[in-house]
């Protein structure tokens, strides 16, 4: 069996370390892989489309991009258990007097990077569906850090939260898990902010494969990951670094919110056309 070429985006230096460990594990499991690294998700989906790689570890937006390019014929592997049924919170200052989404009319709302599904795209569609039109009913203040990484670099999301605490914006969005982590470690004082709404649930990363991927290689790779055991110390190290306790069968049912956002904004067509 030839090695499956697996794409991964280097959103952090640890990515190369993680994939070196995953490669070692998969090789021993009889499912050889060759990691191929990209600096952003557009290049990775380009590589998937051109056949440079067989499968990509994709953000939700990158999966949607591949889905559209392949006209729905793409295949997929597994995903992390921590990537299912996520939500983004809408937070305001506790002393702001803002209690409902309608109170944000005429206010300034903070968002993460331009291409962050969790901290911008899904939130904009959420506000629209709640009656607040983008570019009309509120002012956007965007924190563009790590453009091209689809929000995997949470710097913009975190800076937007800091701006809220500082009173520079009236509200902001953050992935619920990130928000809870910032509260738990003291990054954000829980007495200064309050959550007034949550977006609908959505899924995050997924392995997206080319339509003509070698079925045996894809199955072997997927089965190897699904067989990872969190009670095994060596495998636990990999899983902790990648942020999961179990790999689970992939699904596409959780991409409705990002698809809705893209349809509303025509985002990918415009974003991918950027120089």
Q: Hey, what CATH class is 4-83+203-253 in?
A: alpha beta
Domain map (residue ranges) of the chain? 4-83+203-253, 88-198
Q: pLDDT tens string for the chain (275 positions)? A: 689 999 999 999 999 999 999 999 999 999 999 999 999 999 999 999 999 999 999 999 999 999 999 999 999 999 999 999 999 999 999 999 999 999 999 999 999 999 999 999 999 999 999 999 999 999 999 999 999 999 999 999 999 999 999 999 999 999 999 999 999 999 999 999 999 999 999 999 999 999 999 999 999 999 999 999 999 999 999 999 999 999 999 999 999 999 999 999 999 999 999 88
Q: Which of 248, 271, 247, 217 is nearest to 64 (CA)?
A: 271
Query: What is residue 106's predicted lDDT score, i.e. its pLDDT?
Result: 98
The pTM (predicted TM-score) of the whole model is 0.96
Determine the Cα–Cα distance for residues 155 and 203; give it in Å rounded to an integer.
20
Query: What is residue 1's predicted lDDT score, i.e. its pLDDT?
Result: 66
Contact 157, 119 (CB under 8 A): yes
Q: Which of 127, 185, 149 is nearest to 38 (CA)?
A: 149
Q: Which long-range contacts (CB under 8 A, 24 or more apart) does 41-46 make?
A: 41/9, 41/65, 41/115, 41/148, 41/149, 41/150, 42/148, 42/271, 42/272, 44/7, 44/8, 44/9, 45/69
Fold of 88-198: D-Maltodextrin-Binding Protein; domain 2 (3.40.190)
Asked if the domains 4-83+203-253 and 88-198 are classified in one and the same CATH topology, the answer is yes
């Amino acid at each position: 069996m030839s090695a499956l070429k697996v794409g991964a985006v280097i959103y952090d230096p640890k990515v190369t370390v993680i994939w070196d460990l995953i490669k070692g594990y998969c090789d021993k499991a009889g499912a050889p892989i060759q990691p191929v690294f990209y600096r952003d998700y557009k290049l990775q989906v380009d590589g998937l489309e051109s056949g440079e790689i067989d499968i990509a570890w994709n953000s939700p937006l990158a999966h949607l991009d591949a889905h559209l390019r392949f006209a729905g014929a793409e295949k997929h592997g597994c995903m992390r258990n921590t990537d299912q049924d996520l939500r983004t919170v809408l937070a305001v200052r506790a002393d702001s007097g803002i209690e409902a989404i309608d109170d944000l009319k005429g206010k300034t709302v903070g968002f993460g990077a331009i291409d962050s599904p969790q901290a911008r795209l899904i939130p904009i569609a959420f506000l629209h569906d709640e009656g607040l039109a983008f570019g009309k009913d509120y002012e956007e203040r965007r924190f563009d850090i790590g453009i091209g990484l689809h929000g995997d670099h949470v710097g913009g999301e975190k800076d937007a939260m800091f701006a809220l605490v500082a009173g520079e914006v009236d509200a902001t969005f953050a992935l619920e898990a990130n928000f809870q982590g910032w509260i738990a470690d003291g990054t954000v004082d829980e007495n200064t902010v309050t959550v007034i709404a949550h977006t609908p649930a959505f899924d995050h990363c997924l392995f997206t494969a080319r339509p003509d991927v070698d079925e045996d290689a894809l199955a072997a790779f997927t089965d190897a990951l699904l067989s990872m055991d969190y009670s095994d110390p060596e495998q636990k190290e990999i899983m902790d670094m990648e942020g999961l306790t179990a790999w689970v069968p992939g699904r596409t049912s959780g991409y409705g919110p990002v698809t809705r956002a893209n349809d509303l904004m025509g985002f990918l067509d415009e974003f991918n056309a950027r120089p």
